[in-house]
Amino acid sequence: MTRRALESLRSQRWFASNDMRGFAHRQRTQQMGMRREEFLGKPVIGILNTWSEMSPCHAHLRDRAEAVKRGVWQAGGYPVELPALSVGEVMVKPTTMLYRNFLAMEAEELLRSHPIDGAVLLGGCDKSTPGLLMGAFSVDLPVIYCPAGPMSNGQWRGQKTGAGTHTKKYWDELRAGGITQADWVDLESRMTRSAGTCNTMGTASTMTSIVDAMGLTLPGASSLPACDSGHPRMASTCGSRIVEMVWEDLKPSTFITRASFLNGVAAYMAMGGSTNAAVHLIAMARRAGVDLTLEDLADMAGRVPVLANLFPSGSYLMEDFYFAGGLSALLNKVRPLLDLSCRTVTGGTLGDSLADAPCWNDDVIRDVANPVVPLEKGRTLALLKGNLAPNGAVMKSSAANPKFLRHTGPALVFDDPGTMNRVLDDPGLDVTEDHVIVLRNAGPVGAPGMPEWGNLPIPKKLLKQGVRDMVRLCDGRMSGTHYGSCILHISPEAAVGGPLALLQTGDLVRLDVAAGTLDMLVDDAEIARRRAAWKPTAYRYERSFTALYQQHVSQAHEGCDFDFLTGTAPVPDPVIY
């Protein structure tokens, strides 16, 4: 590997010049207690840290930043930690999705505006992974993604409990009278035992596994539990490796290709990952100048069955997955579908990374011949189109009740979640399990921010009768930790006049997952009449980040990025004067 000249590092523009500005940059670095020898002539490594006390998934990232610094020093770099928006999934309202693009903008501009030569990105909770990497692709400096890692396994009264999945499960049990209020309080302190991201196959592990398979983490790093002593060692290795990557000028544009994305997509499907990844992958691809569509994802979903036996599609947790061999072992099981020649942050190929990655538990990580869900029974991602979703809707059919994969039923339509919750709790509600529950105005513009409202509640009356799944439709998203026959990301959304806006309670909705269709059985003349009478109802913000969001966000099938941020148009490095 040829080593680039020191003079070619962008940080040299700040630190090497013998003028008043160069003096100020050196002077002010020494103001922070650094000796000249500690930073001059060294690659400057940014550590973008999404730690905050509002993000329990990232609670350990302050310590991990120190481990990264250790690695950077050891390899002859100069580390600087830069805080970035934590987008902690649980606390941020209305939804972290509203802020994913904000984090992407912050990451891009932090790296561009400072004298940074390469960066280690510390994140993991759902939107932090796409947010940080969208920004990194756009600024195109050498980066390594250092995933926060999943929290330790949870357990309650001898049963495995997974973050998100079991919260929803026990909430339904509480509403149905299956557990007591005291049980519910007891669960609060027992399900989430340590720092780290959700230990189910939610969006966090979906996204970190995808970017691991794309070659953006150290091989297999996404499966390493947050509180394993290997985790800080991995972080330190990221620090050492990024210094080498700067000297090698190994930036995303030099090795991230459509084939890398398709490797990520194969991992996504084999993991039985979250529907949210469909939005994030397309947004990331568009930043990298790669053509990737919902059809590409659905096509891979039809070739790769769910192999990772993890909640919500299966029955284990991420720590079990790590002990079974982790992502690298899983990737080895789908080798024929991968492009092993793709390069990774190691400088080698994906094939090199997988050379020594055995599987230690064939029940946790299944063989293709023995999948968790066979392709005929359900897929990680099904794409549906029709007069209700001309640009597509998605469904995780592997986590749905198979009897609903072909279904026709009357719609029960809601315009807002408050009314929906009130009505669905009414014990006298006229509803059967054949009804199709619909929540609209939950899309990128309408909600705004496309929140995870799509796992619509089962009517209380039916819960008490033992019903646990129904067909549900939404233009919002659903947590990756949840399950059920939920059709999501309906595009275009109701708030911009998508046909979902024209659906009325009592209309028949027909779903056929095998055929890939989703329609309202309403004749064209009636649809045209309703369209002529339709008026937008979504509240339009006139200031704040949300105003910018509503004016520039794209629809779900396009990745929900801002129109002015997609693509690879060059942005000049800042003028230093």
Min dist CB 480 to ligand FES, Å, is 8
| 330 binds ligand FES per the rule CB under 6 A | no
Nearer to ligand FES, 57 or 394 (CB): 57
By the criterion CB under 5 A, which residues form the site for Mg ion?
89, 126, 202-203, 479
The secondary structure of 287-350, three-state, reads: HCCCCCCHHHHHHHHCCCCECECECCCCCECHHHHHHCCHHHHHHHHCHHHCCCCCECCCCCEH
- How far apart are alpha carbons 26 and 21 in whole angstroms? 9
Is residue 202 a contact point for ligand FES (CB under 6 A)?
Answer: yes
Cβ distance 353 to 219 under 8 Å? yes
Q: Does 90 bind ligand FES (CB under 6 A)?
A: yes
Instruction: State in angstroms the smallest separation of the CB of 361 from ligand FES.
Output: 24
> How many residues appear in the chain?
577
- Angle (CA) 234-131-96 rounded to 5° is 110
Among 106, 117, 126, 140, binds ligand FES (CB under 6 A): 126
The nearest distance, CB 86 to ligand FES, in angstroms, is 10
Give Rg (Cα) of the chain: 24
Pick between residue 198 and residue 394 the one whose CB is nearest to ligand FES: 198
Please, are residues 306 and 238 in contact by the beta-carbon 8 Å criterion?
no
- Window contacting ligand FES (CB under 6 A); options: 194-202, 216-224, 329-337, 428-436: 194-202
User: Per the structure block, which two tokens stand in for 161?
Assistant: 């409990």
Q: Under a CB-based contact definition with an 8 Å cutoff, are residues 153 and 199 in contact? A: yes
Q: Contacting ligand FES (CB under 6 A), which of 110, 198, 306, 553? A: 198
The answer to whether residues 112 and 89 touch, using CB atoms and an 8 Å cutoff, is: no
Our finding on whether 89 is near ligand FES (CB under 6 A) is: yes
Sequence-separated (6 or more) residues with CB below 8 Å from residue 487: 384, 389, 393, 394, 395, 471, 472, 473, 474, 511, 518
Provide the greatest CA pair distance for the chain.
Answer: 80
The interface partner of residue 197, options being ligand FES, Mg ion, none and the CB cut-off 5 to 8 Å by kind, is ligand FES
User: Shortest distance, CB of residue 221 to ligand FES, whole angstroms?
Assistant: 16
First vs last Cα of the chain: how many Å apart?
A: 34
Nearest distance in Å: CB 350, ligand FES? 25
125 binds ligand FES, rule: CB under 6 A:
yes
H or E element, residue 409: strand 406-414
Whose Cβ is closer to ligand FES: residue 87's or residue 116's?
87
The structure tokens listed for 98 are 């509203």
Nearest approach, Cβ of residue 89 and Mg ion (Å): 5
* Residue placing its CB nearer to ligand FES in the complex, 226 or 413: 226
Closest approach of Mg ion to the CB of residue 387, in Å: 31
Q: Considering only residues 44, 47, 57, 342, which one is a binding residue for ligand FES as defined by CB under 6 A?
A: 57
Task: Report the nearest approach of ligand FES to the CB of residue 200 (Å).
Answer: 8
Residue 523 burial by CB count (10 A; 0-12/13-18/19+): exposed, middle or buried?
A: exposed
Partner from ligand FES, Mg ion, none contacting 85, C-beta within 5 to 8 A by type = none
57 binds, among Mg ion, ligand FES, none (CB under 5 to 8 A by kind): ligand FES
Site for ligand FES in 406-425 (CB under 6 A): none
For ligand FES, what does the binding mask look like between residues 204 and 223, x meaning CB under 6 A?
x-------------------
Instruction: Note the residues at the interface with ligand FES (CB under 6 A).
Output: 57, 89-90, 125-126, 163, 197-198, 202, 204
